[in-house]
Amino acid sequence: MSRALDGRVAVVTGGGKGLGRAFALHLAESGAAVVVNNRNREVDENGLGPADHVVAEIVARGGRAVANHDDVADPAIGERLVADALEHFGRLDILVTSAAVSAPQMAHKTSAESFRQVMDINVTGTVLPAAAAMAHMRQAGSGRVVLIASTAGLHGETTVSAYAASKGAVIAFGRTAAVEGAGKNVLTNVVLPYATTQMTEAGMDARHADRMRSDLVAPLVTALASPDSTINGQVIVAAGSALRAADAVEWATVGYDADQPFEPAALEQLLTQSRAGDPHTFTHAQNAFQSLAADLAASAHP
């Protein structure tokens, strides 16, 4: 019996543990050959790291997979991952970027070293693999990219300012990539999962831990990776067996007199008035600008 991803090839960064492992296993179960990326920060007595163990799981179940041990913070990571996919499996159809670090630190205590590490892994380690994969996919005429971010990038989160900033950057990058790739059938979506993983288990409420298993998010990622999917530019919050569509929203346009004193109380009132209007979403920033410009023109010429 054919499977949804038979004949397809996927790369999963951070695929050795947690969410990345769940994604790699589910993609393989759905028929994809998988390049499992995870740097070897720790190895067992046989010198095998997390990616090697996931590959062994996939192969034991009759699938195809190879390990890649490159650090996603390495500037050459994108080209290496694409090269591995082509060398071992002859093509690349899917990229899932799951590698990330948290490095908790309050905003006023953020150090340059800590901030740089988070950005190198979470942002550069997402953008460069995506850029290299999309360049290949555009030439091939098809591809699916799923970027893993976090609701911290939407709403902010205390004690992880660098992490929140990095995940906000991933969301913005993903929306941009979706617009750029649409005409070439290279579709990009961003998933914001809640899951009990090595990164989150210390802060996860025990009441929710079992319901937040990584494997429950994996089918969503596989669906987005399907060649039959036409979903593009979506930001999706996922946890357990549930999801929420998410978006950036702008409310109603309200004017003010720039020649008059602008007191905080007046600003607060205007913000309340704006939020009382209809919410608007936009495909990209130029659409948002054109909408605001039209409102300004209308108010100037009733």
For the chain, 302 residues long, give each residue's pLDDT as a single digit of tens. Answer: 669 999 999 999 999 999 999 999 999 999 999 999 999 777 777 879 999 999 999 999 999 999 999 999 999 999 999 999 999 999 999 999 999 999 888 999 999 999 999 999 999 999 999 999 999 999 999 999 999 999 999 999 999 999 999 999 999 999 999 999 999 999 999 999 998 755 554 554 555 657 779 999 999 999 999 999 999 999 999 998 999 999 999 999 999 999 988 999 999 999 999 999 999 999 999 999 999 999 999 987 65
3 is a domain residue: no
Q: Do strands 235-239 and 242-246 pair parallel, antiparallel, or not at all (unpaired)?
A: antiparallel
Q: What local confidence, expressed as pLDDT, does residue 74 receive? A: 96
CA distance 88 to 103: 34
92 is a domain residue: yes
CA distance 67 to 46: 15
Do 269 and 234 lie in a common domain? no
CB 126, CB 119: distance < 8 Å: no
Q: What local confidence, expressed as pLDDT, does residue 300 receive? A: 76
127 is a domain residue: yes
Do 102 and 198 lie in a common domain? yes
Of 155, 77, 88, 80, the closest CA to residue 120 belongs to 77
Do 238 and 286 lie in a common domain? no
Question: Which two three-digit tokens encode residue 292?
Answer: 């605001």
2 is a domain residue: no
Domain count, the chain: 2
Do 230 and 253 lie in a common domain? no
Do 97 and 155 lie in a common domain? yes
4 is a domain residue: no
1 is a domain residue: no
Do 136 and 253 lie in a common domain? no
Please say which residue of 246, 272, 293 terminates a domain: 246
Do 213 and 153 lie in a common domain? yes
70 is a domain residue: yes
Do 198 and 146 lie in a common domain? yes
Of 31, 116, 35, 22, the closest CA to residue 81 belongs to 35
Do 282 and 232 lie in a common domain? no
Active site residues: 163
Q: What local confidence, expressed as pLDDT, does residue 211 receive? A: 75
Q: What local confidence, expressed as pLDDT, does residue 195 receive? A: 86
Range of the domain at 279: 249-302
CA distance 100 to 134: 20
Please say which residue of 246, 262, 293 terminates a domain: 246
Do 158 and 282 lie in a common domain? no
Do 298 and 162 lie in a common domain? no
82 is a domain residue: yes
Do 83 and 105 lie in a common domain? yes
The alpha carbon dihedral of 147, 98, 191, 64 has a sign of positive
Of 171, 141, 145, the closest CA to residue 229 belongs to 145
Q: What local confidence, expressed as pLDDT, does residue 1 receive? A: 63
